[in-house]
A and B are shown apart, each in its own frame.
Chain A
């Protein structure tokens, strides 16, 4: 869909800042609970990363 032709939408009132209550959670869903990324698939994702990837990665200086 072209964003130039999207139907006009008026933004409604913005929610107030989330109230985190007495915990450190700051209004977000939750603090990470695991001690290790193993519990999810994250470690698998990490193992898939090519060890040489950063060596090949070249950029030009930006601002």
Chain B
């Protein structure tokens, strides 16, 4: 089953204040999206970050203490928890809300890379449009948003990639098959970073590394996401029928500006998951995966090697090469998108080893390094100059007239898979072949009749038991299309639900 999505926490700041309250700023930013008053609609049932995919429930998370302190502090604020979250479901099926201290945009579920990129780019537009409105109210361009993962002072925030996988794959097989791949994936998907950090413990300038998140990886497996961050997060929140599915929730990834890097991040990971399902994954086991993540990130020459459990050494490129070859053997000719991923994955590995300048505009870390080196030459400054961290930050600014990446893209120097029409469509509608499209359609057609909604269901107003569209198993494209057709044609949600349930009953 092919289904994936991205959640992106944006960095937010105001340049007219000495001290910024990120809770208020994030809330105000999300609220700026609205043209009417906020109505609480997000249904938090089904969200329990304490459930662990290894088969148990943890009593507490490392961040619980800090979260509790926030809650206590927030209790004195002049708004409720739900007001603070300001959870919105958008007409494209996406979720846009204040994830406590960061505005977060979660794409609707996507089945194709092209849809995912369009929805991810639509997210950039949505958050920036909200910033524009907020700035209009403030009377100046004060709010700035960054699609990155660090503040260069030891605070990281995430861009999580999510995949629907069959529950029938034992979790230990996912772990074994994914760890070496994820440790080395940053060579393609790293967003690049000036300096070295550690969790909440300062910043050392003078270096350039591949990844923004590598410094914040502290363990191989954990249900935590804010402290003791794992290479592989074990949170078990399937947002689907839990008997049949898992949602693999990867928190190691960087937020990418380059469409090509996003496409390869999700495209290659999806293929590796299918390799694991088919028991065709290469047999690799790293000795110290956490150390290896940092080691590979800090080696922009890509020459370093990491130790395997069997005592031998292997380079990051060779790890990727082994996964790539297994995928070529298993999936060549499967479909057009798969062939595209295989071709580009192979070309990228070759170019990383031979001529990485040809990846400028395609991979973020290569692009950022090229920009910084050019600037250093021009200004005659060295790697320890604090200007470079500022340029790194500005690379990720989503303001079209300020962001360095967006400037590069505007000059036609970045690879694009999306056209402007794709992004405009993604701003207005969700994918036509996933339940994200159905969710968005419900918002567009029956907004005033929705009582609550979340990933799996939409509850409508009416009666003691709210009429509910259950989408926990709505994944087959043909079924999605039928559901969309019914909800498009129906005069009311009740009519749609009646028609949809009759159809389901007649099939069972």
A-to-B contact residues, CB < 8 Å: 1-4, 6, 8-12, 14-20, 24-34, 36-43, 45-47, 49-55, 57-63
The yes or no answer to B443 lying at the interface (CB within 8 A) is yes
A10 touches B488 (CB 8 A): yes
Q: Name the interface size band of chain B.
A: 35 or more
Which A-chain residue is minimally distant from B375 (CB atoms)?
A46
| 14 CB < 8 A contacts A-B | A6-B428, A20-B343, A25-B415, A32-B408, A40-B411, A46-B371, A47-B379, A57-B13, A59-B155, A60-B102, A61-B155, A61-B226, A62-B101, A62-B158
Q: Which of B79-127 contact A (CB under 8 A)?
A: 90-91, 99-102, 112-115
A63 touches B447 (CB 8 A): no
B361 touches A27 (CB 8 A): no
A9 touches B428 (CB 8 A): yes
The yes or no answer to B404 lying at the interface (CB within 8 A) is yes
Q: Which of B406-445 contact A (CB under 8 A)?
A: 407-408, 411-417, 425, 427-433, 437, 441, 443-445
Q: How far is the CB of A63 from chain B (nearest CB, A)?
A: 4
B371 touches A63 (CB 8 A): no
Chain A residues positioned under 8 Å from B199 (CB to CB): 61
A51 touches B387 (CB 8 A): yes
A46 touches B404 (CB 8 A): yes
Chain A residues positioned under 8 Å from B413 (CB to CB): 32-34, 40
Given the complex of chains A and B, what is the CA–CA distance between A46 and B9 in angstroms? 24
A3 touches B428 (CB 8 A): yes
| Majority secondary structure of chain A interface residues (helix, strand, loop or mixed) | loop
Chain B residues positioned under 8 Å from A15 (CB to CB): 114
Chain A residues positioned under 8 Å from B152 (CB to CB): 54-55, 57
Q: How far is the CB of B239 from chain A (nearest CB, A)?
A: 16
Given the complex of chains A and B, what is the CA–CA distance between A54 and B153 in angstroms? 9
Given the complex of chains A and B, what is the CA–CA distance between A8 and B415 in angstroms? 31
Chain A residues positioned under 8 Å from B393 (CB to CB): 53-54, 57
Chain B residues positioned under 8 Å from A20 (CB to CB): 340, 343-344
Q: How far is the CB of A39 from chain B (nearest CB, A)?
A: 8
Contact string, B378-411, partner A, CB cutoff 8 A, digits 1/0? 1100000111011111100000001010011001
Given the complex of chains A and B, what is the CA–CA distance between A16 and B422 in angstroms? 13
Given contacts A43-B374, A62-B158, contact A9 B412 (CB under 8 A): no
B431 touches A26 (CB 8 A): no
Q: How far is the CB of B326 from chain A (nearest CB, A)?
A: 21
A29 touches B412 (CB 8 A): yes
User: What 4 additional pairs, Cβ within 8 angstroms, besides A40-B411, A60-B155?
Assistant: A29-B412, A51-B386, A60-B102, A62-B9
Which B-chain residue is minimally distant from A27 (CB atoms)?
B417
Given the complex of chains A and B, what is the CA–CA distance between A42 and B389 in angstroms? 17
Which A-chain residue is minimally distant from B405 (CB atoms)?
A42
A2 touches B36 (CB 8 A): yes
Given the complex of chains A and B, what is the CA–CA distance between A47 and B226 in angstroms? 34
Of the residues A2, A37, A49, A60, contact of B387 by C-beta under 8 Å: A49
Chain A residues positioned under 8 Å from B198 (CB to CB): none
Which B-chain residue is minimally distant from A50 (CB atoms)?
B390
